[in-house]
Chains A and B, each alone.
Chain A
Amino acid sequence: MTDLAGTDRSANDRCRNLVLVLGDQLSFDSGAFDGFQPSEDRVWMAEVDEESEHVPSHKARIALFLTAMRHFAQEVRARGWPLEYLRLGEHPFPSLAEALADALRNLRPRRLVTVEPGDWRVRQALAAVARNHQTPLEIRPDRCFVGSTEEFARWAAGRRNLVQEHWYRQLRRKTGVLMEGPNPVGGRWNFDAENRASFGPGGPGLVPRPVGFPADRITSEVLGLVARRFEGHPGSLEGSIGRSRAPRRSKRSPTSSETVCPGSAGIKTPCGTASRSSSTADSRRR
Protein backbone atom coordinates (compact mmCIF):
# COMPACT_ATOMS: atom_id res chain seq x y z
CA MET A 1 0.00 0.00 0.00
CA THR A 2 1.26 3.43 -0.90
CA ASP A 3 2.29 5.62 1.95
CA LEU A 4 0.46 8.91 1.42
CA ALA A 5 2.99 10.82 3.46
CA GLY A 6 5.43 9.94 0.74
CA THR A 7 8.17 8.37 2.77
CA ASP A 8 8.46 5.44 0.42
CA ARG A 9 9.20 5.75 -3.22
CA SER A 10 7.67 3.47 -5.76
CA ALA A 11 9.49 2.44 -8.88
CA ASN A 12 7.75 5.21 -10.78
CA ASP A 13 9.03 8.11 -8.79
CA ARG A 14 12.64 7.09 -8.71
CA CYS A 15 14.93 10.00 -8.12
CA ARG A 16 16.19 11.43 -11.42
CA ASN A 17 19.59 12.93 -10.51
CA LEU A 18 21.31 12.24 -7.24
CA VAL A 19 23.55 15.26 -6.83
CA LEU A 20 26.58 14.41 -4.72
CA VAL A 21 28.24 17.33 -2.97
CA LEU A 22 31.66 16.76 -1.41
CA GLY A 23 33.02 18.69 1.57
CA ASP A 24 35.20 20.86 -0.64
CA GLN A 25 32.46 21.69 -3.15
CA LEU A 26 30.31 23.98 -1.04
CA SER A 27 29.10 26.48 -3.60
CA PHE A 28 25.59 27.13 -4.82
CA ASP A 29 27.08 28.36 -8.09
CA SER A 30 28.38 24.85 -8.60
CA GLY A 31 27.64 23.17 -11.91
CA ALA A 32 26.29 20.25 -9.90
CA PHE A 33 23.07 22.24 -9.46
CA ASP A 34 22.58 23.19 -13.10
CA GLY A 35 19.06 22.14 -14.01
CA PHE A 36 18.32 20.96 -10.47
CA GLN A 37 14.63 20.13 -10.08
CA PRO A 38 13.55 19.76 -6.47
CA SER A 39 10.62 17.64 -7.60
CA GLU A 40 12.84 15.08 -9.32
CA ASP A 41 16.38 15.41 -7.99
CA ARG A 42 17.97 15.26 -4.61
CA VAL A 43 21.18 16.37 -2.99
CA TRP A 44 23.35 13.83 -1.19
CA MET A 45 26.11 14.55 1.32
CA ALA A 46 27.87 12.31 3.81
CA GLU A 47 30.26 12.69 6.70
CA VAL A 48 32.48 9.62 6.85
CA ASP A 49 35.42 8.64 9.03
CA GLU A 50 37.56 7.68 6.07
CA GLU A 51 37.93 11.30 4.97
CA SER A 52 39.41 12.21 8.36
CA GLU A 53 41.43 9.05 8.77
CA HIS A 54 43.01 8.13 5.43
CA VAL A 55 45.59 10.57 6.62
CA PRO A 56 45.41 11.33 10.37
CA SER A 57 43.83 14.76 10.04
CA HIS A 58 44.33 17.65 12.37
CA LYS A 59 41.28 18.10 14.59
CA ALA A 60 40.73 21.64 13.31
CA ARG A 61 40.78 20.43 9.71
CA ILE A 62 38.10 17.86 10.47
CA ALA A 63 36.02 20.42 12.35
CA LEU A 64 36.29 22.94 9.55
CA PHE A 65 35.04 20.52 6.89
CA LEU A 66 32.21 19.22 9.07
CA THR A 67 30.91 22.57 10.17
CA ALA A 68 31.12 23.96 6.64
CA MET A 69 29.21 20.93 5.31
CA ARG A 70 26.52 21.22 7.97
CA HIS A 71 26.05 24.91 7.28
CA PHE A 72 25.79 24.19 3.59
CA ALA A 73 23.22 21.46 4.29
CA GLN A 74 21.20 23.92 6.32
CA GLU A 75 21.09 26.24 3.34
CA VAL A 76 20.09 23.40 1.00
CA ARG A 77 17.15 22.61 3.29
CA ALA A 78 16.25 26.29 3.56
CA ARG A 79 15.83 26.29 -0.21
CA GLY A 80 13.40 23.46 0.11
CA TRP A 81 15.60 21.06 -1.82
CA PRO A 82 15.42 17.38 -0.92
CA LEU A 83 18.60 16.40 0.86
CA GLU A 84 19.99 13.13 2.13
CA TYR A 85 22.65 14.01 4.71
CA LEU A 86 24.53 11.36 6.67
CA ARG A 87 25.99 12.57 9.95
CA LEU A 88 29.01 10.94 11.53
CA GLY A 89 28.03 8.45 14.16
CA GLU A 90 24.48 8.13 12.83
CA HIS A 91 25.20 5.66 10.03
CA PRO A 92 27.29 2.49 9.77
CA PHE A 93 29.43 3.36 6.73
CA PRO A 94 33.16 3.93 7.22
CA SER A 95 33.77 5.25 3.72
CA LEU A 96 32.19 7.46 1.12
CA ALA A 97 32.06 4.53 -1.28
CA GLU A 98 30.05 2.35 1.11
CA ALA A 99 27.67 5.15 2.06
CA LEU A 100 27.10 5.99 -1.58
CA ALA A 101 26.58 2.36 -2.56
CA ASP A 102 23.80 2.17 0.01
CA ALA A 103 22.22 5.36 -1.32
CA LEU A 104 22.32 4.06 -4.89
CA ARG A 105 20.65 0.81 -3.76
CA ASN A 106 17.89 2.59 -1.88
CA LEU A 107 17.22 5.66 -3.97
CA ARG A 108 17.96 4.07 -7.35
CA PRO A 109 18.65 7.38 -9.10
CA ARG A 110 18.72 7.38 -12.88
CA ARG A 111 21.98 9.28 -12.75
CA LEU A 112 24.65 10.31 -10.27
CA VAL A 113 25.81 13.90 -10.78
CA THR A 114 28.83 15.56 -9.24
CA VAL A 115 31.57 18.08 -9.89
CA GLU A 116 35.17 17.00 -10.55
CA PRO A 117 36.54 15.81 -7.20
CA GLY A 118 39.72 17.54 -6.07
CA ASP A 119 41.14 14.21 -4.98
CA TRP A 120 42.04 11.45 -7.41
CA ARG A 121 41.36 8.77 -4.78
CA VAL A 122 37.78 10.01 -4.32
CA ARG A 123 37.18 10.20 -8.04
CA GLN A 124 38.26 6.57 -8.48
CA ALA A 125 36.04 5.50 -5.60
CA LEU A 126 32.95 7.27 -6.95
CA ALA A 127 33.48 5.90 -10.44
CA ALA A 128 33.79 2.36 -9.07
CA VAL A 129 30.60 2.60 -7.00
CA ALA A 130 28.62 4.04 -9.89
CA ARG A 131 29.90 1.28 -12.18
CA ASN A 132 29.06 -1.45 -9.68
CA HIS A 133 25.51 -0.15 -9.40
CA GLN A 134 25.03 0.44 -13.12
CA THR A 135 24.36 4.10 -12.44
CA PRO A 136 25.60 6.57 -15.04
CA LEU A 137 28.00 9.04 -13.45
CA GLU A 138 28.11 12.56 -14.80
CA ILE A 139 31.15 14.55 -13.68
CA ARG A 140 30.75 18.24 -14.38
CA PRO A 141 33.53 20.84 -14.63
CA ASP A 142 34.33 22.75 -11.45
CA ARG A 143 33.46 26.41 -12.00
CA CYS A 144 35.22 27.41 -8.80
CA PHE A 145 38.43 27.66 -10.79
CA VAL A 146 39.26 30.26 -13.40
CA GLY A 147 40.71 27.81 -15.92
CA SER A 148 39.13 24.43 -16.61
CA THR A 149 41.05 21.16 -16.49
CA GLU A 150 40.36 20.82 -20.20
CA GLU A 151 41.79 24.25 -20.92
CA PHE A 152 44.86 23.42 -18.88
CA ALA A 153 45.38 20.11 -20.67
CA ARG A 154 45.16 21.94 -24.00
CA TRP A 155 47.67 24.51 -22.80
CA ALA A 156 50.01 21.78 -21.56
CA ALA A 157 49.83 19.63 -24.67
CA GLY A 158 52.89 20.00 -26.81
CA ARG A 159 54.80 22.14 -24.32
CA ARG A 160 58.13 20.87 -23.14
CA ASN A 161 58.14 22.87 -19.96
CA LEU A 162 54.99 23.81 -18.11
CA VAL A 163 55.92 27.19 -16.72
CA GLN A 164 53.62 28.75 -14.15
CA GLU A 165 54.33 32.24 -15.45
CA HIS A 166 52.97 31.37 -18.89
CA TRP A 167 49.74 29.86 -17.59
CA TYR A 168 49.33 32.88 -15.30
CA ARG A 169 49.65 35.29 -18.22
CA GLN A 170 47.09 33.33 -20.16
CA LEU A 171 44.60 33.68 -17.29
CA ARG A 172 45.42 37.39 -16.84
CA ARG A 173 44.54 37.88 -20.51
CA LYS A 174 41.46 35.71 -20.26
CA THR A 175 40.04 37.57 -17.25
CA GLY A 176 41.45 41.03 -17.99
CA VAL A 177 42.71 41.24 -14.40
CA LEU A 178 45.38 43.95 -14.03
CA MET A 179 45.34 44.47 -17.79
CA GLU A 180 45.21 47.61 -19.90
CA GLY A 181 44.11 46.30 -23.25
CA PRO A 182 46.73 43.74 -24.27
CA ASN A 183 49.32 44.98 -21.76
CA PRO A 184 49.84 44.29 -18.06
CA VAL A 185 49.14 47.20 -15.74
CA GLY A 186 52.39 48.90 -14.79
CA GLY A 187 54.10 47.60 -17.92
CA ARG A 188 55.32 44.38 -16.27
CA TRP A 189 53.82 40.98 -15.54
CA ASN A 190 55.91 40.26 -12.53
CA PHE A 191 56.86 42.29 -9.45
CA ASP A 192 58.50 39.48 -7.49
CA ALA A 193 61.75 41.38 -7.18
CA GLU A 194 59.97 43.99 -5.04
CA ASN A 195 58.38 41.35 -2.85
CA ARG A 196 61.37 39.56 -1.40
CA ALA A 197 62.60 41.81 1.39
CA SER A 198 62.97 40.56 4.95
CA PHE A 199 61.58 42.41 7.95
CA GLY A 200 64.95 43.57 9.21
CA PRO A 201 65.88 43.72 12.88
CA GLY A 202 62.83 45.81 13.81
CA GLY A 203 60.47 42.96 13.01
CA PRO A 204 57.10 43.17 11.30
CA GLY A 205 55.70 46.10 13.29
CA LEU A 206 51.95 46.29 13.73
CA VAL A 207 50.31 43.08 12.66
CA PRO A 208 46.58 42.93 11.94
CA ARG A 209 44.74 40.79 14.41
CA PRO A 210 43.18 37.72 12.83
CA VAL A 211 39.48 38.09 12.21
CA GLY A 212 37.42 35.80 14.38
CA PHE A 213 33.80 34.81 14.53
CA PRO A 214 31.85 33.37 17.43
CA ALA A 215 31.08 29.67 17.16
CA ASP A 216 27.40 29.19 16.45
CA ARG A 217 25.34 26.17 17.52
CA ILE A 218 26.39 24.04 14.56
CA THR A 219 30.08 24.78 15.02
CA SER A 220 29.91 24.18 18.77
CA GLU A 221 28.32 20.79 18.18
CA VAL A 222 30.97 19.89 15.63
CA LEU A 223 33.78 20.94 17.96
CA GLY A 224 32.35 18.63 20.62
CA LEU A 225 31.97 15.79 18.17
CA VAL A 226 35.51 16.12 16.87
CA ALA A 227 36.97 16.36 20.36
CA ARG A 228 35.26 13.07 21.29
CA ARG A 229 35.46 11.07 18.09
CA PHE A 230 38.94 12.08 16.96
CA GLU A 231 40.56 12.51 20.35
CA GLY A 232 43.79 10.81 19.30
CA HIS A 233 44.25 12.94 16.19
CA PRO A 234 47.00 15.53 16.01
CA GLY A 235 46.45 19.17 16.73
CA SER A 236 44.28 21.16 19.02
CA LEU A 237 40.88 22.79 18.80
CA GLU A 238 41.86 25.33 21.45
CA GLY A 239 43.95 27.37 19.05
CA SER A 240 40.92 28.13 16.97
CA ILE A 241 40.55 31.38 18.76
CA GLY A 242 40.69 34.90 17.47
CA ARG A 243 38.93 38.07 18.36
CA SER A 244 38.69 41.64 17.22
CA ARG A 245 40.20 43.32 14.19
CA ALA A 246 42.26 45.84 16.10
CA PRO A 247 45.94 45.86 15.20
CA ARG A 248 48.19 44.57 17.91
CA ARG A 249 51.85 44.47 18.62
CA SER A 250 52.38 41.50 20.87
CA LYS A 251 50.89 38.12 21.48
CA ARG A 252 47.16 37.78 21.63
CA SER A 253 45.64 36.79 24.90
CA PRO A 254 43.32 33.98 23.95
CA THR A 255 39.69 34.38 24.82
CA SER A 256 37.41 31.45 25.11
CA SER A 257 34.77 30.18 22.73
CA GLU A 258 35.51 32.46 19.89
CA THR A 259 35.77 30.85 16.52
CA VAL A 260 36.89 28.17 14.18
CA CYS A 261 40.43 28.56 13.01
CA PRO A 262 42.18 31.84 12.57
CA GLY A 263 44.00 29.77 9.98
CA SER A 264 40.93 30.26 7.89
CA ALA A 265 39.64 33.79 7.67
CA GLY A 266 36.36 33.96 5.87
CA ILE A 267 34.73 30.92 7.41
CA LYS A 268 31.86 32.61 9.09
CA THR A 269 28.67 31.55 7.53
CA PRO A 270 29.46 29.08 4.80
CA CYS A 271 26.97 28.75 1.96
CA GLY A 272 28.81 31.05 -0.38
CA THR A 273 28.67 34.12 1.78
CA ALA A 274 32.14 33.96 3.21
CA SER A 275 33.48 37.28 4.33
CA ARG A 276 35.67 39.46 2.21
CA SER A 277 37.71 40.65 5.11
CA SER A 278 41.38 41.06 5.73
CA SER A 279 42.99 40.32 2.44
CA THR A 280 46.40 41.76 2.91
CA ALA A 281 48.84 41.24 0.15
CA ASP A 282 50.69 37.99 0.37
CA SER A 283 53.26 37.72 -2.23
CA ARG A 284 56.50 36.07 -1.47
CA ARG A 285 56.03 32.67 -3.05
CA ARG A 286 57.30 32.70 -6.62
Chain B
Amino acid sequence: MWDGEPFLFHSRLSAALNLKLLHPMEVVRAAEEAYRSGHAPLPAVEGFIRQILGWREYVRGLYHLWMPDWLSWNALNAHRPLPEFYWTGETEMRCLKATVGQTLRHGYAHHIQRLMVTGLFALLLGVRPIEVHRWFLAIYVDAVEWVELPNTLGMSQFADGGRMATKPYAATGRYIQRMSNHCASCRFRPERATGEDACPFTALYWHFLERNEARLAGNPRMRPALTNLRRLSPDDRAAIRRKAERIAQGPP
Protein backbone atom coordinates (compact mmCIF):
# COMPACT_ATOMS: atom_id res chain seq x y z
CA MET B 1 0.00 0.00 0.00
CA TRP B 2 1.24 3.46 -0.80
CA ASP B 3 -0.30 6.88 -0.22
CA GLY B 4 -1.74 8.29 -3.44
CA GLU B 5 -1.42 5.00 -5.33
CA PRO B 6 -4.84 3.36 -5.49
CA PHE B 7 -4.00 0.70 -8.08
CA LEU B 8 -0.30 -0.12 -7.84
CA PHE B 9 0.36 -3.35 -9.76
CA HIS B 10 -3.06 -4.91 -9.37
CA SER B 11 -4.66 -6.18 -12.55
CA ARG B 12 -8.18 -4.81 -11.92
CA LEU B 13 -9.64 -7.63 -13.97
CA SER B 14 -12.09 -8.77 -11.29
CA ALA B 15 -15.03 -6.69 -12.48
CA ALA B 16 -14.71 -7.97 -16.06
CA LEU B 17 -14.34 -11.52 -14.79
CA ASN B 18 -17.29 -11.27 -12.45
CA LEU B 19 -19.63 -9.89 -15.10
CA LYS B 20 -18.37 -12.74 -17.33
CA LEU B 21 -16.96 -10.40 -19.94
CA LEU B 22 -13.74 -12.32 -19.50
CA HIS B 23 -13.39 -16.05 -18.97
CA PRO B 24 -11.02 -17.05 -16.16
CA MET B 25 -9.14 -19.42 -18.46
CA GLU B 26 -8.34 -16.56 -20.87
CA VAL B 27 -6.68 -14.74 -18.01
CA VAL B 28 -4.96 -17.80 -16.59
CA ARG B 29 -3.59 -18.91 -19.98
CA ALA B 30 -2.32 -15.40 -20.70
CA ALA B 31 -0.45 -15.36 -17.40
CA GLU B 32 0.97 -18.82 -18.00
CA GLU B 33 2.10 -17.75 -21.46
CA ALA B 34 3.84 -14.72 -19.94
CA TYR B 35 5.86 -17.10 -17.78
CA ARG B 36 6.59 -19.62 -20.53
CA SER B 37 7.79 -16.90 -22.90
CA GLY B 38 10.07 -15.41 -20.27
CA HIS B 39 8.08 -12.23 -19.64
CA ALA B 40 7.20 -12.84 -16.00
CA PRO B 41 8.80 -14.79 -13.15
CA LEU B 42 7.21 -18.02 -11.94
CA PRO B 43 6.43 -16.89 -8.35
CA ALA B 44 4.49 -13.88 -9.65
CA VAL B 45 2.63 -15.92 -12.26
CA GLU B 46 1.81 -18.77 -9.90
CA GLY B 47 0.54 -16.33 -7.27
CA PHE B 48 -1.66 -14.59 -9.83
CA ILE B 49 -3.05 -17.85 -11.19
CA ARG B 50 -3.72 -19.10 -7.65
CA GLN B 51 -6.03 -16.12 -7.09
CA ILE B 52 -8.16 -17.02 -10.10
CA LEU B 53 -7.92 -20.79 -10.45
CA GLY B 54 -7.62 -21.41 -6.72
CA TRP B 55 -9.14 -18.78 -4.50
CA ARG B 56 -11.87 -17.47 -6.80
CA GLU B 57 -13.16 -20.93 -7.66
CA TYR B 58 -12.91 -21.98 -4.03
CA VAL B 59 -15.00 -19.14 -2.60
CA ARG B 60 -17.59 -19.68 -5.28
CA GLY B 61 -17.89 -23.33 -4.34
CA LEU B 62 -18.21 -22.50 -0.65
CA TYR B 63 -20.85 -19.87 -1.31
CA HIS B 64 -23.15 -22.33 -3.05
CA LEU B 65 -22.38 -25.03 -0.51
CA TRP B 66 -23.21 -22.96 2.56
CA MET B 67 -25.84 -20.43 1.59
CA PRO B 68 -28.05 -19.30 3.22
CA ASP B 69 -26.41 -20.42 6.49
CA TRP B 70 -23.53 -18.06 5.90
CA LEU B 71 -25.78 -15.08 6.60
CA SER B 72 -26.59 -16.13 10.13
CA TRP B 73 -23.10 -17.03 11.34
CA ASN B 74 -21.50 -14.75 13.90
CA ALA B 75 -18.88 -16.93 15.55
CA LEU B 76 -17.16 -14.06 17.35
CA ASN B 77 -20.42 -12.64 18.62
CA ALA B 78 -19.76 -9.22 17.09
CA HIS B 79 -22.54 -6.67 17.45
CA ARG B 80 -21.25 -3.15 16.97
CA PRO B 81 -22.57 -1.00 14.12
CA LEU B 82 -20.35 -0.19 11.15
CA PRO B 83 -18.68 3.20 11.79
CA GLU B 84 -20.10 6.04 9.74
CA PHE B 85 -16.72 6.83 8.18
CA TYR B 86 -17.00 3.76 5.97
CA TRP B 87 -19.51 5.77 3.93
CA THR B 88 -17.73 9.13 4.10
CA GLY B 89 -13.99 8.53 4.42
CA GLU B 90 -13.92 11.06 7.25
CA THR B 91 -11.45 9.62 9.72
CA GLU B 92 -8.09 10.63 11.11
CA MET B 93 -6.64 7.16 10.58
CA ARG B 94 -4.53 7.65 7.49
CA CYS B 95 -4.74 4.11 6.09
CA LEU B 96 -8.52 4.04 6.45
CA LYS B 97 -8.88 7.51 5.02
CA ALA B 98 -6.85 6.47 1.99
CA THR B 99 -8.66 3.18 1.50
CA VAL B 100 -12.20 4.43 2.03
CA GLY B 101 -11.39 7.60 0.07
CA GLN B 102 -10.26 5.73 -3.04
CA THR B 103 -13.13 3.29 -2.60
CA LEU B 104 -15.65 6.13 -2.78
CA ARG B 105 -13.77 7.73 -5.66
CA HIS B 106 -13.19 4.63 -7.78
CA GLY B 107 -15.35 1.85 -6.39
CA TYR B 108 -12.08 0.03 -6.00
CA ALA B 109 -9.48 -0.98 -3.46
CA HIS B 110 -7.05 -3.84 -3.88
CA HIS B 111 -7.30 -6.95 -1.78
CA ILE B 112 -4.71 -6.02 0.84
CA GLN B 113 -6.59 -2.80 1.52
CA ARG B 114 -9.88 -4.69 1.74
CA LEU B 115 -8.51 -7.45 3.97
CA MET B 116 -5.97 -5.63 6.10
CA VAL B 117 -7.45 -2.12 6.42
CA THR B 118 -11.23 -1.90 6.07
CA GLY B 119 -11.86 -5.57 6.85
CA LEU B 120 -9.33 -5.68 9.68
CA PHE B 121 -10.69 -2.60 11.42
CA ALA B 122 -14.24 -4.01 11.38
CA LEU B 123 -12.98 -7.37 12.67
CA LEU B 124 -11.02 -5.82 15.55
CA LEU B 125 -13.83 -3.44 16.44
CA GLY B 126 -16.34 -6.27 16.47
CA VAL B 127 -18.79 -5.03 13.84
CA ARG B 128 -21.86 -7.12 13.13
CA PRO B 129 -20.76 -9.34 10.21
CA ILE B 130 -23.88 -8.73 8.15
CA GLU B 131 -23.23 -4.97 8.18
CA VAL B 132 -19.68 -5.48 6.99
CA HIS B 133 -20.98 -7.79 4.27
CA ARG B 134 -23.55 -5.25 3.09
CA TRP B 135 -20.89 -2.55 2.87
CA PHE B 136 -18.47 -4.67 0.83
CA LEU B 137 -21.26 -5.80 -1.49
CA ALA B 138 -22.47 -2.25 -2.06
CA ILE B 139 -19.25 -0.39 -2.46
CA TYR B 140 -16.98 -2.28 -4.89
CA VAL B 141 -17.54 -2.34 -8.63
CA ASP B 142 -16.51 -5.99 -8.81
CA ALA B 143 -18.76 -7.16 -5.98
CA VAL B 144 -21.14 -10.01 -6.72
CA GLU B 145 -22.40 -11.89 -3.71
CA TRP B 146 -20.86 -15.30 -4.46
CA VAL B 147 -17.38 -13.80 -4.32
CA GLU B 148 -17.87 -10.96 -1.87
CA LEU B 149 -19.71 -12.83 0.87
CA PRO B 150 -17.26 -15.67 1.60
CA ASN B 151 -14.33 -13.27 1.40
CA THR B 152 -16.00 -10.91 3.85
CA LEU B 153 -17.75 -13.23 6.27
CA GLY B 154 -15.26 -16.07 6.10
CA MET B 155 -11.82 -14.79 5.35
CA SER B 156 -12.04 -11.27 6.71
CA GLN B 157 -14.53 -11.37 9.60
CA PHE B 158 -14.11 -15.00 10.74
CA ALA B 159 -17.88 -15.09 11.23
CA ASP B 160 -17.86 -18.73 10.10
CA GLY B 161 -15.65 -19.64 13.06
CA GLY B 162 -12.88 -21.01 10.85
CA ARG B 163 -14.73 -23.12 8.35
CA MET B 164 -12.79 -21.27 5.70
CA ALA B 165 -9.76 -19.44 7.10
CA THR B 166 -7.58 -21.27 9.59
CA LYS B 167 -7.32 -18.23 11.85
CA PRO B 168 -8.66 -14.67 11.99
CA TYR B 169 -6.70 -12.13 9.97
CA ALA B 170 -6.02 -10.04 13.07
CA ALA B 171 -3.02 -7.71 13.24
CA THR B 172 -1.87 -4.53 14.94
CA GLY B 173 -1.06 -1.24 13.26
CA ARG B 174 2.48 -2.53 12.86
CA TYR B 175 1.39 -4.73 9.98
CA ILE B 176 0.07 -1.68 8.14
CA GLN B 177 3.27 0.19 8.99
CA ARG B 178 5.38 -2.59 7.50
CA MET B 179 3.26 -2.90 4.36
CA SER B 180 2.73 0.80 3.56
CA ASN B 181 3.84 4.37 4.10
CA HIS B 182 0.52 5.45 5.60
CA CYS B 183 1.76 5.53 9.19
CA ALA B 184 4.49 8.05 8.38
CA SER B 185 1.88 10.76 7.85
CA CYS B 186 -0.62 9.53 10.45
CA ARG B 187 -1.07 11.10 13.86
CA PHE B 188 -1.34 7.67 15.52
CA ARG B 189 1.64 5.52 16.47
CA PRO B 190 1.30 1.89 15.40
CA GLU B 191 3.56 0.61 18.19
CA ARG B 192 1.34 2.14 20.91
CA ALA B 193 -1.77 0.57 22.36
CA THR B 194 -2.54 3.22 24.96
CA GLY B 195 -2.25 6.97 25.27
CA GLU B 196 -3.48 9.84 23.12
CA ASP B 197 -1.51 8.84 20.04
CA ALA B 198 -2.13 5.09 20.30
CA CYS B 199 -2.98 3.50 16.98
CA PRO B 200 -6.62 2.36 17.16
CA PHE B 201 -5.73 -0.84 15.28
CA THR B 202 -3.18 -1.73 17.94
CA ALA B 203 -5.42 -0.98 20.91
CA LEU B 204 -8.33 -2.82 19.33
CA TYR B 205 -6.11 -5.77 18.44
CA TRP B 206 -5.37 -6.55 22.08
CA HIS B 207 -8.94 -5.97 23.05
CA PHE B 208 -10.01 -8.33 20.25
CA LEU B 209 -7.73 -11.06 21.58
CA GLU B 210 -8.91 -10.53 25.11
CA ARG B 211 -12.58 -10.67 24.10
CA ASN B 212 -12.09 -13.81 22.06
CA GLU B 213 -9.44 -15.54 24.12
CA ALA B 214 -11.63 -18.47 25.12
CA ARG B 215 -12.97 -18.92 21.58
CA LEU B 216 -9.53 -18.90 19.99
CA ALA B 217 -7.57 -20.77 22.66
CA GLY B 218 -8.02 -24.13 20.93
CA ASN B 219 -6.50 -22.86 17.68
CA PRO B 220 -2.78 -23.73 17.46
CA ARG B 221 -2.16 -20.89 15.01
CA MET B 222 -3.40 -18.39 17.60
CA ARG B 223 -1.06 -19.64 20.30
CA PRO B 224 1.75 -17.10 19.77
CA ALA B 225 -0.69 -14.17 19.81
CA LEU B 226 -2.46 -15.41 22.93
CA THR B 227 0.86 -16.03 24.66
CA ASN B 228 1.75 -12.39 24.02
CA LEU B 229 -1.61 -11.31 25.40
CA ARG B 230 -0.96 -13.22 28.60
CA ARG B 231 2.38 -11.49 29.03
CA LEU B 232 0.65 -8.13 29.45
CA SER B 233 0.28 -6.99 33.04
CA PRO B 234 -3.22 -6.62 34.49
CA ASP B 235 -2.71 -2.86 34.55
CA ASP B 236 -1.73 -2.76 30.89
CA ARG B 237 -4.68 -4.89 29.99
CA ALA B 238 -7.05 -2.62 31.89
CA ALA B 239 -5.59 0.46 30.20
CA ILE B 240 -5.88 -1.12 26.76
CA ARG B 241 -9.45 -2.16 27.50
CA ARG B 242 -10.38 1.40 28.48
CA LYS B 243 -8.67 2.79 25.38
CA ALA B 244 -10.35 0.27 23.10
CA GLU B 245 -13.75 0.96 24.56
CA ARG B 246 -13.26 4.70 24.07
CA ILE B 247 -12.30 4.10 20.44
CA ALA B 248 -15.35 1.92 19.96
CA GLN B 249 -17.63 4.69 21.26
CA GLY B 250 -16.52 6.94 18.42
CA PRO B 251 -13.64 5.91 16.17
CA PRO B 252 -11.36 8.88 15.42
Interface residues of A (CB under 8 A from B): 23-27, 29-30, 55-61, 64-65, 68, 116, 118-121, 144-147, 149, 152-153, 155-156, 162, 164-165, 167-168, 171-172, 175, 177-178, 185-186, 189-192, 194-195, 198-199, 201, 203-204, 207-208, 210, 234-236, 238-240, 250-251, 261-267, 270-274, 276, 278-286
Query: Which chain B residue shows the least CB distance to A174?
Result: B53
Residue in A162, A204, A250 whose beta carbon sits within 8 Å of that of B62 in the complex? A162
Minimum CB–CB distance for A121 against chain B, Å: 7
Interchain Cβ contacts under 8 Å between A and B, 26 examples: A25-B20, A26-B20, A27-B20, A57-B139, A118-B146, A144-B24, A145-B60, A152-B61, A153-B61, A153-B64, A153-B65, A168-B54, A168-B57, A203-B181, A204-B2, A207-B5, A210-B7, A261-B107, A266-B12, A270-B19, A278-B12, A279-B11, A282-B47, A283-B46, A285-B51, A286-B55
Minimum CB–CB distance for A154 against chain B, Å: 10
**Chain B residues numbered 96-147 whose CB sits less than 8 Å from any CB in chain A:** 102-108, 110-112, 115, 134-135, 137-147
Query: Which chain B residue shows the least CB distance to A65?
Result: B19
Residue in A30, A194, A265, A286 whose beta carbon sits within 8 Å of that of B50 in the complex? A286
**Is B196 on the interface with A (CB-CB < 8 A)?**
no
Verify A272–B21 contact, CB threshold 8 A. Answer: yes
Minimum CB–CB distance for B9 against chain A, Å: 4
**Is B73 on the interface with A (CB-CB < 8 A)?**
no
Q: How far is the CA of A261 from the CA of B110 in the complex (A)?
A: 14
* Apart from the given pairs A236-B104, A240-B106, 19 other A-B contacts in the complex at a CB distance below 8 Å: A26-B19, A27-B23, A30-B20, A61-B140, A61-B143, A146-B24, A152-B65, A162-B164, A168-B58, A192-B47, A234-B138, A235-B103, A261-B15, A264-B12, A265-B16, A266-B22, A267-B21, A281-B9, A281-B40
Contacts of B225 in A (CB 8 A): none
Verify B134–A60 contact, CB threshold 8 A. Answer: no
Verify A279–B27 contact, CB threshold 8 A. Answer: yes
Verify B28–A267 contact, CB threshold 8 A. Answer: no
Q: How far is the CA of A116 from the CA of B65 in the complex (A)?
A: 13
Size of B's binding interface in residues, CB under 8 A: 87
Minimum CB–CB distance for A257 against chain B, Å: 16
Verify B19–A68 contact, CB threshold 8 A. Answer: yes
Q: How far is the CA of A130 from the CA of B11 in the complex (A)?
A: 39
Q: How far is the CA of A264 from the CA of B109 in the complex (A)?
A: 11
Minimum CB–CB distance for A212 against chain B, Å: 11
**Is B75 on the interface with A (CB-CB < 8 A)?**
no
Minimum CB–CB distance for A108 against chain B, Å: 29
Verify B134–A55 contact, CB threshold 8 A. Answer: yes
Contacts of B68 in A (CB 8 A): 120
Verify B53–A146 contact, CB threshold 8 A. Answer: yes
Known contacts A146-B25, A152-B64: A279-B13 contact under CB 8 Å:
yes
Verify B12–A274 contact, CB threshold 8 A. Answer: no
Verify B53–A175 contact, CB threshold 8 A. Answer: yes
**Is B18 on the interface with A (CB-CB < 8 A)?**
yes
Q: How far is the CA of A24 from the CA of B21 in the complex (A)?
A: 9
Q: How far is the CA of A279 from the CA of B48 in the complex (A)?
A: 9
**Is B8 on the interface with A (CB-CB < 8 A)?**
yes
Verify B106–A262 contact, CB threshold 8 A. Answer: yes
Minimum CB–CB distance for B52 against chain A, Å: 8
- The stretch from B29-37, B186-194, B210-218, B236-244 touching chain A is B29-37
Q: How far is the CA of A163 from the CA of B46 in the complex (A)?
A: 18
Residue in A58, A145, A149, A239 whose beta carbon sits within 8 Å of that of B140 in the complex? A58
